[in-house]
């Protein structure tokens, strides 16, 4: 299958525990019942795009275990092609997530099979037909850098969700069409929480989008910044909201929308996602949002 959106990234099982507050160092906190759901930044992004009707494939890796089956079933249910999803002799990645009553979360990721994704997996067959290639950083950075270079050379629009935050080579960032970060990741890249967000373009990307949670997002182009409002909702669980934004942004760009138009749609999708529990199970269809 040649997909319009190719997502290169992680697939994890999410083990989510509700807590009154997150434990401090050396502290034990009793939580509620553990909820298992499919997650991982790559798989989440692919499912979000697929639910919106995009033609999408995931290039990633899972293990030969029940968690891998859970992820395959969720991806297939969202219409995501598994042609480039490998099964390797490593356990499927797991994310251990605590969620507080205000919907905020903290996450510890054990990459497992995601660590097996290598530059050699970025093939011409995988890139063929993709108009948008989306990447995130829960897989080896060498693979990400190689994939960005190959995707740019193929003529696809390269969308890099630089999360979890890490430093990438200048030549990698210079091949990126859209850099997607949240405000904390932006501060990491710029070295200050008060830095001018337009400074992100000096790192190399042609454009950037900074997500601001309930405050929406900012689209940054050489013409300047544009604010994008988010619908007002009551947050239940913010797990995977950034990935919902990324998937909706990619799907919208693949459909021919401008970056600002795509960001408006992505903000609406992310807002719906935080009103529901979990990551992939919370992602809406286009009919539920637009």
10's tokens: 């992680």
* Rounded distance between C-alpha atoms, residue 274 and residue 235, angstroms: 5
* Rounded distance between C-alpha atoms, residue 97 and residue 99, angstroms: 7
Number of residues assigned to the chain: 290
Q: Does 65 qualify as catalytic in the annotation?
A: no
Instruction: Please identify which residue in the block is written with the tokens 């009154």.
Output: 20
* Rounded distance between C-alpha atoms, residue 225 and residue 231, angstroms: 20
Annotated binding-site residue numbers: 12-14, 40-44, 138, 182, 211-216, 237, 239, 242-243, 273, 276, 278, 282
Question: Of 119, 115, 209, which is closest to residue 162 (Cα–Cα)?
Answer: 209
Annotated binding-site residue numbers for ATP: 182, 211-216, 242-243
Q: What's the chain's Rg over C-alpha atoms? A: 18
**DSSP state letter for 173:** H
Annotated binding-site residue numbers for substrate: 12-14, 40-44, 138, 243
Helix (H) or strand (E) holding 196: none
CA–CA–CA angle 105, 106, 112 (5° rounding): 125
Annotated binding-site residue numbers for K(+): 237, 239, 273, 276, 278, 282
Sequence-ordered strand ranges (E) for the chain: 5-8, 12-18, 35-39, 56-62, 85-87, 93-99, 105-110, 132-136, 157-161, 178-182, 207-211, 217-221, 224-228
234 phi/psi in degrees, rounded to 5: -95, 115
Supply the residues annotated as catalytic: 243
């Amino acid at each position: 299958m040649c997909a319009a959106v190719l997502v290169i990234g992680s697939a994890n099982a999410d083990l989510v525990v509700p807590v009154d507050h997150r434990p401090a160092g050396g502290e034990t906190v009793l939580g509620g019942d553990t909820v298992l759901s499919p997650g991982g930044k790559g798989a989440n992004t692919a499912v979000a795009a697929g639910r919106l009707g995009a033609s999408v494939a995931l290039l990633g890796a899972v293990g030969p275990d029940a968690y891998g089956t859970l992820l395959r079933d969720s991806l297939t249910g969202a219409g995501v092609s598994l042609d480039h999803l490998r099964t390797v002799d490593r356990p499927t990645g797991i994310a251990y997530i605590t969620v507080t009553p205000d919907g905020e979360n903290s996450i510890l990721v054990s990459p497992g099979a995601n660590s097996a994704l290598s530059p050699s997996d970025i093939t011409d067959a995988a890139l063929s037909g993709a108009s948008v290639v989306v990447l995130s950083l829960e897989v080896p950075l060498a693979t990400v850098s190689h994939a960005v270079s190959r995707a740019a050379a193929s003529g696809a629009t390269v969308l890099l969700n630089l999360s979890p935050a890490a430093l990438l080579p200048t030549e990698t960032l210079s091949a990126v069409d859209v850099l997607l970060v949240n405000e904390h990741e932006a501060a990491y890249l710029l070295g200050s929480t008060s830095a001018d967000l337009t400074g992100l373009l000096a790192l190399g990307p042609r454009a950037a989008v900074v997500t601001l949670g309930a405050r929406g997002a900012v689209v940054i182009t050489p013409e300047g910044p544009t604010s994008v409002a988010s619908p007002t909702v009551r947050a239940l669980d913010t797990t995977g909201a950034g990935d919902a934004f990324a998937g909706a942004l990619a799907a919208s760009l693949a459909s021919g929308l401008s970056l600002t138009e795509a960001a408006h749609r992505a903000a609406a999708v992310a807002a719906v996602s935080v009103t529901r529990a979990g990551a992939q199970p919370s992602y809406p269809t286009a009919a539920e949002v637009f």
